[in-house]
Amino acid sequence: MVLVYLVIIGAGVGFMATRLLDLKLGVPQTIALGVVGALIGGVLLRILLVGLGIASGLLGAFIGAVIVALIIKALMR
């Protein structure tokens, strides 16, 4: 169940991050970006914001996806 949750959240935040940074990625890459971002951001914010619940996970997923998207954008140049 956690994997399904991670893919759904990853797809959403990956989509938002690619639109925010104007990246042209396909659906699988967008989902992967969001999932990796969710993992990175979730870990970072859970360390910093223990106790805020699901809000910290969602925000962390988005921040992580933006970080990964920025790295991808830099590598595509």
- Where in the chain are the domains? 2-75
More confident residue, 18 or 9: 18
Q: Give the pLDDT score at 55.
A: 67
Residue 71 has pLDDT above 80, yes or no: yes
Q: Whole-angstrom Cα distance, residue 26 to residue 2?
A: 24
pLDDT at 61 (0 to 100): 81
Q: What is the pLDDT of residues 12-66, one digit of tens each?
A: 888 888 888 888 888 888 888 888 888 887 777 667 677 666 666 777 788 888 8
